[in-house]
A and B are shown apart, each in its own frame.
Chain A
Amino acid sequence: MKDSKYNERKEEFTLSTGEIIKRLYKQKKNVEFLDETALPGEFPFTRGVYPTMYRGRLWTMRQYAGFGSAEESNQRYKYLLEQGQTGLSVAFDLPTQIGYDSDHSLARGEVGKVGVAIDSLEDMETLFSGIPLNKVSTSMTINAPAAILLAMYVALAEKQGVSLEELSGTIQNDILKEYIARGTYIFPPTPSLKLITDTFAYCSENLPRWNTISISGYHIREAGSDAVQELAFTLADGIAYVEAAEKAGLEVDKFAPRLSFFFNSQMNILEEVAKFRAARRLWANIMKNRFNAKKKKSMMLRFHTQTAGAALTAQQPENNIVRVALQALAAVLGGTQSLHTNSYDEALGLPTEKSVQIALRTQQIIAHESGVADTIDPLGGSYYIEELTDKIEKEVKNYIKRIDELGGMASAIEAGYVQQQIQDTAYQYQLDVESGKQVVVGVNEYQSEVEREADLLKVDPAVEEKQSKKLKRLKENRDNQKVTKSLQELKAAAESGNENLMPYILNAVKVYATLGEITDILRDIYGEYRASTL
């Protein structure tokens, strides 16, 4: 194809995987979308999980938020709901995510920083004060102690007089990607998987509308993977969870309909759209063929999307508004069920109310002005998109095969295989940016001299102290005999090894045992995970 008359501006054009992009894509025979059965709402759901998609109902606009104290976060949630947001997404601070109360020595400097500090049911009551739980769907980014936070939410619903059948929302509950990419693990894999399958079992009986897990590729991508690795490792995690649940005696069609996914939306719009389409087709086939699922709902890959935090630049931060818009567009063209758009100032610090509003408006403009939500899978049938969808599907299958050979995802993680793959890609990307092969506007090209410091939100440093005082007061005022008894019962149940711990955790949170107290009981029995790979 080389013709000196038509020189191209680059030696080669590539995807995030390094895969070379052709100059032109042409019609191919036997392209799967041409199959009459491949309609939206039909197996394998390549074009969408629902028959009407956004013509029926728009995606849920769900902005991840939370910082400082429960009071402050409660204010932010009410503000977001007033602005037209349709679902809540709770960010917890790191001590909460790792099961430490705010007065723990390791919590120093971290309380209220990346999310809200929750130590007990008392904080949860404040967090949702004035927000009836049957009127919102709530997503909680919580993993290692997910069972405890879910128990607090359930206890709160009971206090509000909301029936459990009405509760809708999601707990992230995805521990495997914590070992790979995000780092907020507590226990080793085996007991962690037990806690996860306990929540599966509990929810299938009690919370029919609750998504029991959000199997997350988001953080894998943020850690530096490419699009294929993101999908491959996420689906491999999914396989591991289904296997664990089956091993625990659960029937696949009972829990599989409540599995949900969470993906990243990066800069290459068309590659991302193909990734989302391939994801649906792959999972449908995995559930049908590998796990013999019978229900259609078990085969449907429903997912939340967040725009890529790693694509935000600290230089010329306003440019991030455009980046986020393009990434959000890709997610919508890819058929996401819910979406978080990042704020343009997040490479500098916590977002302000104004920047959060722009991010939400971006979604509303795509929904109501752009026209892309008016038909289903508008890019389906594009030669490029279809070929890319097939290609990604094939490469993901190769990865899954390799992971199966390594003995499954848990073994592949233990051997450091997954982490190594991601790090290699991350480093290569960095080298490409530094060599100029990958242009990042405002960073390695088109730099501006003057940088303006954006207005930033500051977390009140007094949160840590306030939170500690609150804990002290709580421990003085609660019925400590009941707390001790509930913790002893939890301990006995955990030691027995074969009981579902959810009811015991629920009892403990109801009498105001703290997150740290409950986690400590489990830490003693299960031990702590220690990363051993580089």
Chain B
Amino acid sequence: MPTDKLGIDKLVSGILASNKRAVAKAITILENDLPGAAVLLDQVFTKTGNAQLIGVTGPPGAGKSTLIEKITNHWLQEGKKIGIIAVDPSSPFTGGAILGDRIRMKTISSKKNVFIRSMATRGALGGLSPHIREAMQILDAAGMDKIIVETVGVGQSEIDIVKVADTVILVTVPEAGDDIQVIKSGIMEIGDVFVVNKADRPGANKMEILLKSMIHSNNENLTDKNVVKTVASESQGIDELIEVLDNHYHEFQVTGKLLKRKKALLELMLFDIIKNHFANKTLVKIKESDQFKNLLNKLAKREIEPYSALTELAEENQILAAILEGK
């Protein structure tokens, strides 16, 4: 167990000193719900809240990783520290996963001020697991200026990205314009910046116009300026994209929208913690109690009704009772 080798206190001081091994070990503890996870999160929490959290999503093959590579290189030159979390889906059958995003970020993966971690979705119904957010907090505490989360635009993880990011970049390609279905419902509302990558291919202008028109009908906060054309592989459009990102973030800060967004993210986090705790600890405890088993037997013999069983359970469990009363 990592906790035996490195105590949490030592781990936390390592994280605050930007020690990569400590950061990596901490993420493992959180990702696997290992002993000490809660303490660890609490100990770093006051040191978080400084990084810009950026979500990048889009269909497979849109060039998300190359784009991330380029903007990361840009920020590195400004002396920034960048943390990247690349999310790939877990196999629903075996729980295993192949995490292949590192391959696509070769030019930055060994740089001093970059930390890349690959994570699997691990069930969570195809959505982002809460551990992604926890990993981001570790990177935040470790002094990263920008934290980028990349998810493949398949299933729920694409929409979920809004639950962990201040700024969401939606990456698409010109061909996507031929098939409007590619731009799924709901996706337009979550994006802050829209990138038409591989814009040297036919159809780029059409895609750009399409995105702009969809923005107008979906999100009053956005303007045409939030649509950028890039050819990431040739480094084209990267400066423009950075400018849009900076402007968007700046506008968010001065208008107070950022605070609102950050608070919303915290709300989600706290709610997740409560839910998680309640589901994993309290509910499991109730389910494993003798009383529960007795009641179940009675239910099977039709000697008791389900809601009466609930009332009986509440008599033995204060939390459950409090909740029932509160209703």
Binding site for B on A (CB under 8 A): 415-416, 530-532, 534
Contacts and interface: CB of A to CB of B under 8 A. Distances in A.
B103 A534 contact: yes
A415 B61 contact: yes
13 contacts: A415-B61, A416-B61, A530-B104, A530-B106, A530-B107, A531-B103, A532-B65, A532-B66, A532-B103, A532-B104, A534-B98, A534-B100, A534-B103
A531 B107 CA distance: 12
Interface string B79-114: 000000000000000000010100110110000000
Contacts of B106: 530
Q: Which 9 A-B pairs have the closest CB atoms?
A: A534-B100, A532-B104, A530-B106, A415-B61, A534-B98, A531-B103, A534-B103, A532-B103, A532-B65
Nearest to A530: B106
Contacts of B104: 530, 532
B199 to A, nearest CB: 16
A19 to B, nearest CB: 27
Interface in B40-87: 61, 65-66
Interface residues of B, number: 9
Contacts of B100: 534
Contacts, number: 13
A168 B81 CA distance: 57
Interface of B: 61, 65-66, 98, 100, 103-104, 106-107
B104 to A, nearest CB: 5
Among A415, A416, A532, the one with the most B-chain Cβ atoms within 10 Å of its Cβ is A532
Contacts of A416: 61
Main secondary structure of the interface of A (DSSP, over half): loop
Nearest to A188: B233
Given A532-B66, A534-B103, 6 more contacts: A530-B104, A530-B106, A530-B107, A531-B103, A532-B103, A534-B100
Contacts of A531: 103
B98 to A, nearest CB: 7
Contacts of B107: 530
B130 to A, nearest CB: 27
Contacts of B65: 532
A62 B44 CA distance: 66
A532 B100 CA distance: 9
A193 to B, nearest CB: 17
Contacts of B103: 531-532, 534
Nearest to A416: B61
B56 to A, nearest CB: 15
Nearest to B233: A188
Contacts of A532: 65-66, 103-104
A534 B104 CA distance: 9
Nearest to A534: B100
B264 to A, nearest CB: 35
A215 B106 CA distance: 30
B231 to A, nearest CB: 13
A416 B60 CA distance: 11
B202 to A, nearest CB: 11
A534 B61 CA distance: 12
A103 B299 CA distance: 79
Contacts of A534: 98, 100, 103
B204 to A, nearest CB: 16
B234 to A, nearest CB: 9
A415 B106 CA distance: 19
A424 to B, nearest CB: 13
A415 B201 CA distance: 14
B279 to A, nearest CB: 35
Contacts of B98: 534
Nearest to A532: B104
Nearest to B61: A415
A527 to B, nearest CB: 9
A44 to B, nearest CB: 36
A364 B61 CA distance: 50
B67 to A, nearest CB: 12
A111 B103 CA distance: 25
Residue from the set A416, A531, A534 with the largest chain B CB neighbour count within 10 Å: A534
A415 B175 CA distance: 13
Contacts of B61: 415-416
B64 to A, nearest CB: 11
A534 B106 CA distance: 14
A415 B98 CA distance: 18
A412 to B, nearest CB: 12
B63 to A, nearest CB: 8
B167 to A, nearest CB: 24
B105 to A, nearest CB: 10
Nearest to A531: B103
A6 B278 CA distance: 65
B182 to A, nearest CB: 15
